Amino acid sequence: MDTRSFKTASLLVIVSLPLISKTFAVDTFDPATGILSVPRVVVGDWRLTWGAQEYTEIKLTVDEVVSVGQTTLLDETDLTIRPDTFDTSLNQLLMPQVIVGSDVYTDVVITIGELISFTGTITEVGSPAYSQARSLQPFYYSYSDDVPQNLRELWEIGIEAAAKYFGRYGPLELWMQGAGEEGLTSHIAKFCDRRKVIGMNVFEPDMPYMTLERCMLIFKSYFQTVQQKNANFQFGAGVQGDALRGYHLMTSAIPGYFGKEYVHQDRAFIGPFHEYYHVMQRAHISNLDLDGRMALKGPTWFVEGVAGALADYAVMDMQSNGTLPLLDGRAYDFFDHQAQHLDLARHQWQSLDDPKLGLTSEEIGPTFYSNSFAAWLLLSRTKVNILETTFYPNLMKKGWEQTFVDTFGMSSEDFYLLFADYMTKEPEEQLAIMPGWDALSRSEKDYYLSRF
Ligand SMILES: [Zn+2]
């Protein structure tokens, strides 16, 4: 069968069986024939920063099943449009979902048997890091010599846990500085050396990425800024992304989260979770044009609000189901933290003549604490994991505003009116939009409300 008649044939099948259109974007396995149908797969070497291609419409057989996640019923499962991953260096195929009869298997990893047919298209997508497809590779961690061992371990536990929760995207590198000047230069030299090893330029891998001198110069000031901030107790970490060079760059410095200088020990995991959330967001934007990337990311209140809200939620969720350790022997108190932030958000909002959510990073200061409540108000209209499962996978195809409308059922302009109204309500009504609030006892609710 040639390509055209295959397409005509599949079109006829879709028209006659409406069920197929629901399942069209997801892998299906037919146990009777042993054939796996893959609608969309990103093929590449996930250790590298360039050279990924997207293939559509492939049929193949399975050699070995390496691992399987959850199984759910097809009728009860939201199907994803996320592409599969084929990592050529591992020779493994990762399927976010595969339909087998009336079941859906999640996160299935296999090795491929035989290629039966390829009737689709091939598209260059640049780096695996920004292809929407997940990674099966380990992350890369580097610390300057004076970063203590226990801190390294906690950061890695945090990032690995966040990747389990939000999906694993890579190549990802964490570069953490000590507090001193001494280790900085040798650490940046190591950083610039590594750029030569894993890849230089997304689209022109043979072009020199930059001279060692230039790399040292650019990243010295960048690493120093992070170091300086932490030295001033503005604890944080940053995701610089380095999208044009095709990987996810995360940087931080000590003192910081997990150190004795950080007063909120019980919530220190929020640091790596928040930054990792930004990695997930960026992993869904393959556009290399800077303005195009900015437009796809959406307004800053949104980027920061959802990262803030979901990092908090994920840490609470994972600690309560035992998949993330407690710090200092104490569980992170999600509602206490939200109540404190809501109190700050209310004060900020009420102190302004014409309060607005910040559209740019320059604008977010005055209503900073409102961002995550805007995110909660959006998520309360749908599912708490809708961004990772549906919103971000649709972003490149539909653009930010259309994805927003389709996900939350209203335009962003209408949402700003809804949010302004929300900010006039009493704290109890405001907290009631949070997942899990309804399940609290009266005395627990009263305790959190006493925070205002
Ligand atoms: Zn952030």
pLDDT digits 0-9 by tens, 35-59: 999 999 999 999 988 889 999 999 9
Q: With 80 as the cut, is the pLDDT of residue 21 above it?
A: no
- Closest to 378 measured CA to CA, from 413, 343, 404, 350: 404
What is the CA(366)–ligand 1 centre distance, in A? 16
Task: Report the alpha-carbon distance of residue 256 to residue 268 in Å, rounded.
Answer: 9
What is the CA(249)–ligand 1 centre distance, in A? 14
Residue predicted with more confidence, 168 or 247:
168
What is the CA(230)–ligand 1 centre distance, in A? 15
What is the CA(305)–ligand 1 centre distance, in A? 8
Q: In this structure, what token pair is assigned to residue 361?
A: 């990073």
Delimit the domains of the chain by residue range: 9-130, 140-283, 291-449
What is the CA(255)–ligand 1 centre distance, in A? 19
User: What residues pair up with 105 in beta bridges, in sequence order?
Assistant: 71, 98
What is the CA(425)–ligand 1 centre distance, in A? 27
Q: Is the dihedral of CA 381, 382, 385, 389 positive or negative?
A: negative
What is the CA(306)–ligand 1 centre distance, in A? 9
What is the CA(308)–ligand 1 centre distance, in A? 7
pLDDT digits 0-9 by tens, 111-142: 999 999 999 999 999 889 999 999 999 999 99
Residue predicted with more confidence, 62 or 146:
62
What is the CA(402)–ligand 1 centre distance, in A? 23
What is the CA(257)–ligand 1 centre distance, in A? 15
3-state secondary structure the chain: CCHHHHHHHHHHHHHHCHHHHHHCCCEEEECCCCEEEEEEEEEECCCCCCCEEEEEEEEEEEEEEEECCCEEEHHHCCCCCCCEEEECCCCEEEEEEEEECCEEEEEEEEEEEEEEEECCCEEEEECHHHCCCCCCCCCEEEECCCCCHHHHHHHHHHHHHHHHHHCCCCCEEEEEECCCCHHHHHHHHHHHHHHHHHCCCCCCCCCCCCCHHHHHHHHHHHHHHHHHHHHCCCCCEEECCCHHHCCEEEEEECCCCCCCCCCCHHHCCHHHHHHHHHHHHHCCCCCCCHHHHHHHHCCHHHHHHHHHHHHHHHHHHHHHCCCCCCECCECCCHHHHHHHHHHHHHHHHHCCCCCCCCCCCCCCHHHHHHHHHHHHHHHCCCCCCHHHHHHHHHHHHHCHHHHHHHHHCCCHHHHHHHHHHHCCCCHHHHHCCCCCCCCCCHHHHHHHHCCC
pLDDT for 199:
57
What is the CA(271)–ligand 1 centre distance, in A? 9
What is the CA(270)–ligand 1 centre distance, in A? 11
Q: With 80 as the cut, is the pLDDT of residue 274 above it?
A: yes
pLDDT for 217:
83
What is the CA(303)–ligand 1 centre distance, in A? 7
Per the document, the length of the chain is 452
Q: Cβ-count burial of 119 within 10 angstroms (0-12 exposed, 13-18 middle, 19+ buried)?
A: middle
What is the CA(275)–ligand 1 centre distance, in A? 6
Q: In this structure, what token pair is assigned to residue 276?
A: 């990792």
Q: With 50 as the cut, is the pLDDT of residue 20 above it?
A: no
What is the CA(100)–ligand 1 centre distance, in A? 39
Share the mean pLDDT of the chain.
89
pLDDT > 90 fraction of the chain, expressed in percent and rounded = 69
What is the CA(179)–ligand 1 centre distance, in A? 22
**Range with lowest mean pLDDT among 66-70, 195-199, 226-230, 279-283:** 195-199
pLDDT for 209:
58
pLDDT digits 0-9 by tens, 329-338: 899 999 999 9
What is the CA(300)–ligand 1 centre distance, in A? 9
What is the CA(365)–ligand 1 centre distance, in A? 13
Task: Report the alpha-carbon distance of residue 407 to residue 390 in Å, rounded.
Answer: 8
pLDDT for 369:
96
pLDDT > 70 fraction of the chain, expressed in percent and rounded = 90
Distances from the Cα of 195 to the Cαs of 242, 280, 293, 446, 449, in angstroms? 11, 22, 22, 54, 51
What is the CA(278)–ligand 1 centre distance, in A? 7
Q: What is the pTM of this model?
A: 0.91
What is the CA(451)–ligand 1 centre distance, in A? 25
What is the CA(367)–ligand 1 centre distance, in A? 15
